[in-house]
């Protein structure tokens, strides 16, 4: 039986990792700090600091021009991806909160990328179902309510172009995916989603122990 890598992520090691990754720019850093100061009770919904440069890297790697984000919160991940897109790209950002996304709007304007972001304040499933049905999405980032993730997946996959990438956050969900007593709620939703993704022949996927778990899925 394998036990995996035994390296433990201490605070010191985490800082070392951040120091050896692309640094956040002034606007990204300001948005992260404002989010934690303004919404301390829910700031954990913000993508981890190291995920901003990773998402930007994936955008540039795939050459993504059409991106869909499900779950925008205060817009850090949105900003990171939009900055990495070509100037003619469009990022459709789905959220249900005007309050949270208002902070993102200001940061996007300041960074000069607001014209690349189409923010839709509505249930994400409604937004997805209103998109063209043919394959046209280059990349998607899923970081929203866990109970609806399979539904989001089923709307996204047919719309992904061949080679398109779906990135899903929180796929280890604080370790609760292996807790068999967690039979309802978000933990159960994530576990069901992980099983669904792994079994989907339309995609090839890898689940990585990045932050709270990150799954990368490529359209065959």
Residue 7's pLDDT is: 84
Q: Which residues contact 12 (CB under 8 A, 6 or more apart)?
A: none
Residue 2 belongs to some domain of the structure = no
Q: Tell me the residue range of the domain where 133 lies.
A: 11-219
Residue 80 belongs to some domain of the structure = yes
Residue 4's pLDDT is: 67
Contact 204, 220 (CB under 8 A): yes
- The mean pLDDT value for 164-193 works out to 92
Angstrom distance (rounded) from CA 68 to CA 71: 10
- Tens of pLDDT, residue by residue over 3-40, are 666 688 899 999 999 999 999 999 999 999 999 999 99
Residue 146's pLDDT is: 95
As given in the structure block, the two tokens for residue 114 are 């607001």
Residue 217's pLDDT is: 98
Residue 161 belongs to some domain of the structure = yes
Residue 6's pLDDT is: 67
For the chain, what is the domain count? 1
Residue 8's pLDDT is: 86
Residue 16's pLDDT is: 96
pLDDT at 1 over 60: no
The alpha carbons of the chain give a radius of gyration, in whole angstroms, of 17
pLDDT at 97 over 90: yes
Residue 5's pLDDT is: 67
Helices (H), 10-113: 11-19, 26-38, 51-62, 76-84, 98-111
Residue 193 belongs to some domain of the structure = yes
Residue 144 belongs to some domain of the structure = yes
Residue 184 belongs to some domain of the structure = yes
Residue 211's pLDDT is: 93
Beta pairing partners, 137:
160
Residue 186's pLDDT is: 93
Residue 179's pLDDT is: 87
Contact 8, 56 (CB under 8 A): no
pLDDT band of 196, cuts 50, 70, 90:
very high
HSE (side-chain half, CA atoms, 13 Å) at 216: 12
The DSSP code for 134 is: S
Q: Domain containing 165 — which CATH number?
A: 3.40.50.150
Contact 86, 61 (CB under 8 A): no
- Tens of pLDDT, residue by residue over 65-88, are 999 999 999 999 999 999 999 999
Residue 61 belongs to some domain of the structure = yes
Residue 4 belongs to some domain of the structure = no
Q: What is the DSSP string of 13-40?
A: HHHHHHHTSPPP-HHHHHHHHHHHHH-T
pLDDT band of 2, cuts 50, 70, 90:
low
pLDDT at 105 over 70: yes
- Tens of pLDDT, residue by residue over 36-62, are 999 999 999 999 999 999 999 999 999
- Tens of pLDDT, residue by residue over 134-178, are 999 999 999 999 999 999 999 999 999 999 999 999 999 999 999
């Amino acid at each position: 039986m394998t036990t995996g890598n035994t390296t433990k992520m201490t605070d010191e090691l985490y800082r070392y990792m951040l120091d050896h990754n692309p640094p956040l720019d002034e606007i990204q850093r300001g948005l992260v700090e404002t989010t934690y100061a303004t919404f301390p009770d829910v700031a954990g919904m913000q993508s981890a600091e190291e995920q901003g440069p990773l998402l930007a890297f994936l955008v540039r790697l795939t050459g993504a021009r059409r991106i869909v984000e499900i779950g925008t919160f205060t817009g850090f991940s949105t900003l990171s991806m939009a900055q990495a897109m070509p100037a003619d790209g469009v990022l459709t950002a789905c959220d249900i909160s005007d309050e949270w996304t208002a902070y993102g709007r200001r940061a996007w304007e300041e960074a000069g990328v607001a014209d690349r972001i189409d923010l839709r304040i509505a249930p994400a499933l409604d937004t997805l179902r209103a998109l063209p049905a043919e394959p046209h999405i280059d990349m998607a980032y899923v970081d929203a309510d866990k109970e609806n993730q399979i539904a989001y997946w089923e709307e996204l996959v047919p719309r992904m172009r061949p080679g398109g990438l779906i990135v899903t956050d929180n796929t280890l969900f604080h370790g609760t995916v292996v807790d068999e007593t967690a039979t309802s709620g978000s933990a159960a939703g994530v576990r069901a989603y992980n099983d669904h993704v792994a079994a989907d022949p339309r995609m090839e996927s890898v689940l990585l122990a990045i932050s709270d778990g990150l799954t990368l899925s490529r359209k065959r």
